[in-house]
Structure 1
Amino acid sequence: MLLATSAVAGSLALLASNPHTPSVAPDPDNAGLKLPAGFGALKVAETGGRARHIAVTPQGIIYVKLNKVKDGKGILELKPQATGKATVTGGFGDYGGTGMYVKDGYLYASSDHNVYRYKLDAKGEVTDPNKGELLVRGLKVGSQHESKSIVLDNAGNLYVNIGAYANACQEQDRTRGSKGIPNCPILDSAGGIWQFKANQANQTYKNGTRYATGLRNVVGLDWNQQDNQLYVMQHGRDQLADNWPQFYNEKQSAVLPAECMYALKQGDNAGWPYTYYDQLQHKIMQGPEYGGDGKKEATGNYLAPAAAYPGHMAPDGLLFYTGTMFPAKYRNGAFIAFHGSWNRAPEPQAGYYVVFQPFVNGKPSGQWEVFADNFSGSAAKTAAGRADHRPCGLAQGPDGSLYVSDDSKGTIYRIVYNAKK
């Protein structure tokens, strides 16, 4: 286990007296975060890049995917120190992107067009950084929602989000009164989750399967081990009042539609662009581009969300917690990183925090709660949308601690539990 150094000697008495306390000490100010009682946080590293998704190997090596290449590197390797912090010891991959995942001795990473994998050795380090195996190539990229988030199941399958390169599939995107295109052509190659083989090189669309459709953009996704199912967080559509002022006022547009969690099975259709979910009415609504008026419910075989959250908060990370460090209430529940809003005016902007969604028997159960807050720096910065840090990626360490990435300044956080359980 990692040991605290003399630099954090003030915490050694607590560590010695409490066998449930992790062997790393939080920063004196908990890295600036507001956390539930008993939890602490430390800034693991300052990467200086736009840190998107992250992965931690069973040996504790941290891999960070950068949105943009920094100093010729799109993936950073961080090795843990005795203090629980980490040092950037290398980097590789000459491409930006979002996806990062560790599974069965491989590191998987995505650019906005492709998915790669790298073999890990017994130390949890990439054996040959210069020889990433190209698994999937030629994925659709437009002017928005370009990130390709990834996750693997337990049967050798790789799942890739391919975001819709539009807000609501209008004839003229994000234009007032522009109608939706019938049988939205975007859905042929985007707006859903595609399934590929995790060990087959050089795959394209023709080798994959459109696993689920009707998903505008998914950045956060994870495999729920408890019910062996894919869960995703969708970014809801924008600009209801801007584009359809005859049906929606600004206040409605600020809070609608929901950011939705979906539990997916093959063939599911979540409804984009034809529908959206109204979390206030608890109804799937017909989109205004396709004949809706803010009151008309959708008809059709569309998947209802497993859980719904306030609109425009941008869920960029999803993680099912399977560790034993945190209290039992967190076991098999979901952490969600909300990156933060930009279009909730005239309401205050919102998000910029990590929330916890309780699960029971593999299904959401009970009200979600804010778990880690104040990434933005202050309530005023949150309300104005001028956050210092924006949580994006989530990963679980081998000891059960929770890692959070920040794609604003590149800070990597680690949250630990200090109190008796």
Structure 2
Amino acid sequence: MISVDTAIKIVEDTIKPLPVKTIPFENALGFCLAEDMQSDIDMPPFNRSAMDGYAVIAEDTANAPVELTVIEDIAAGHMPTKKVSHGQASKIMTGAAVPAGADAVVKFEETEDLSVSNRVKILRPIDKGRNISSRGEDMQVGQKVLCKGMPVRSQEIGILATIGKSQVKVFSAPTVGIISTGDELVDVGLKPSVAQIRNSNGYSLAAQARRMHAEVDLLGIVKDTKEEISSMMQWGFRKDILILSGGVSMGEYDLVGDVMKDFNTRIYFEKVALRPGKPVIFGKKDTTFIFALPGNPVASFVTFELFVYPAIRKMMGFTHVHRTTLQASLETEILVKRKRREYRPAFLRMHNNTWMVSPVEWHGSADLLATTMANSLLIVREDAERLVTGQLVDVIPLE
């Protein structure tokens, strides 16, 4: 049995990024850039007004209030046609090009429209350069504006649109196959008998993977026989990642590990000093990475976050592959029962500019309902004996 840190490092060191593909930029949300991006334009492309107001020569306002002659109206999307000289001003809208000669923009609130002879009164002095965004101050032609390895979020989509990158190279998302094992399982459309339960793990794991933009195929439920597990796994070997839930403990019908070995799978680890989720297997068959996770729903959920999550992120080319860990003040005392690292479902909140966390009430690794009250995982280190109220603890936010 290996430590959690060792297991995570094995996964991270073993997985490599998938090939690059080119997609429309509007479909790149959530992916990782596979190339640097340079701007093909200056932004702003001209000296641009940051306000609705009047373009003036700042020197003319030194003895304000002062009256100026309005020589032109300039709307956004239209270039000015007249140069501003001393004693003159151009009415200008936000986003419009500042006319030649002008070196400041006075906002409407600091003026008075005289409504006679195209005159405007400037009510107070203004500094040179005020309310003008200079050409190229945001980005310049040839400037690297996005870097390989960056995640594509809504703001990166906006930059790609700004620089005209209608097609973008990103790292591919993995294909993921999911198999649920167990004689006790029935699908969601069926009413379970006394000895049965519905297959929640398959759909929960699929949701976790799809949230990361993986291409997921629910391969179905198999009985606890080597023949059925083996037959379904062969379909799973067509995927980049194959996830199995259940059948990984030490019981008579826990056959997944045996079947993996029958396929000559390279096994990297089989047990991790972890709660919940000690029986978890990570291996590789040809080009397919296999994660055999525990059958209890919370253990399945937690082990996905610890091991499958960084694997998918690494395949997608991200350099930061793990969820963020932060420190929070514990609101409830915790007595530690086992010397394995624990990841407890918890509720994280901000109070008086301080992160506060408390474990949710749960009845063990089968209690999936308790996780609906949680938004984080509270980490209880293996060397801890007791955690007291007010103590700082590590927490992994899940949202």
Based on CA coordinates, which of the two structures has the bigger radius of gyration? Answer: 2
TM-score, normalization by structure 1 = 0.21
Q: Which has the higher helix share?
A: 2
Q: What TM-score, normalized by structure 2, do the two folds share?
A: 0.22
